[in-house]
Amino acid sequence: MIKFDNVGFRYETGPEILSDISFELAAGSYHFLTGPSGAGKTSLMSLMYLGHRPTRGSLHMFEHNVGFLPRERLFEIRQKIGIVFQDFRLMNHLTAFDNVALPLRILKRPEKEIRNNVTELLDWVGLGESKDRLPPTLSGGQQQRIAIARAIIARPRLLLADEPTGNLDDTIGFRLMGLFDQLNKMGTTIVIATHNTHIMELFGHPRLILAHGRLTQETRQGPITQKIRNVS
């Protein structure tokens, strides 16, 4: 589903931030992406959601070589991806409801279906009361939940979440991580960038570790996850 082959990346004429990145993620997999701040997690994600193109090497997304994909076809791939941006990137003039509805509207789903699904999801993430409010009037954690809802509302085949629980308390954080697990079970491939070792330990998915522009893979399953899974 995702295949990096000796990918290198730099912003304009800046230094190379990612070097010789090679890895492959199978459909239906679930990975944590971690590494120190400034290591390039967000940059790596932006290559996956086609926000930037690799400066060298080849990147395949959904069996398409991104390097050769014409601009006007990028949206087809992006429509299969749900993204939670580290800085949310909500539309500040649209209500919480309309922000979450946006991906469905882009897909031209019927308005009735949109109303039902969006309302249900907003209720689920605890924003049912705030659905008519504009993002700037909401707290960081509330905005983050809108961002997450927007990323998953259209049932993407790939979910890329950049620090999705950074602003959330543990209760709602775990609840959302549980939701991601549910999505994963239904077939969504997931990559979550996070610093949160606690969460990584708890859920124990394999890790992609970025440091000094290079990526290493760690396939260990955390023991705590096993415990939780056994308990529940």
Partner 1 sequence: MSVKRPPFYVKAQEILLRTVLGSKGYDLPFGSDADRGYLLLLVGLMSFLAVLACAGTLSLHAMTQRWSSGLENKITIEIKAEDRDGTMLSPETIRLETEKITEMLQKNPAVKSFEALQEKEIKKLVSPWLGEDFSLEDIPLPGLIAVELNVSSPEALEKLTGSIKKLSPTARVDTHREWLQDILRFTGTLQWIALFVALIVALTTVTAISSGVKSRMAVHKDQVEILHLIGASDKYIARQFQWHAIIIALLGSILGTAAGLGMATFILLLSGQSGTSLIPQISLDSTSMLIFIFLPVIASIISGVTARFTVLRTLSLMP
DSSP string, 46-77: HHHTTSS--SEEEEEETTEEGGG--GGGHHHH
- For the bound state, the minimum distance from the C-beta of residue 119 to partner 1, rounded and expressed in Å, comes to 14
Q: What residue type is 184 in one-letter code?
A: N
Closest CB to ligand ATP among 37 and 230?
A: 37
**Alpha-helical segments (H) within the chain:** 41-48, 74-78, 96-106, 111-124, 140-152, 170-185, 197-203, 223-231
Residue 137 interacts with partner 1 (CB under 8 A): yes or no = no
Contacts 24+ apart (CB under 8 A), 127-130: 127/96, 130/96
Closest CB to partner 1 among 30 and 97?
A: 97
Residues 84 and 151 sit within 8 Å (Cβ to Cβ): yes
Instruction: Take residue 16 and report the two structure tokens written for it.
Output: 């190379």
Residue 119 interacts with partner 1 (CB under 8 A): yes or no = no
Residue 224 interacts with partner 1 (CB under 8 A): yes or no = no
Among 22, 29, 55, 86, binds ligand ATP (CB under 6 A): 86
Residue 40 interacts with ligand ATP (CB under 6 A): yes or no = yes
Reported as type and span, the H/E element at residue 32 is strand 30-34
Residue 164 interacts with ligand ATP (CB under 6 A): yes or no = no
- The interface partner of residue 146, options being Mg ion, ligand ATP, partner 1, none and the CB cut-off 5 to 8 Å by kind, is none
- For the bound state, the minimum distance from the C-beta of residue 78 to partner 1, rounded and expressed in Å, comes to 4
Instruction: List residues binding partner 1 (CB under 8 A).
Output: 49, 51, 53, 71-72, 74-75, 78-79, 81, 83, 89, 91-94, 98, 101-103, 105-107, 111, 150, 154
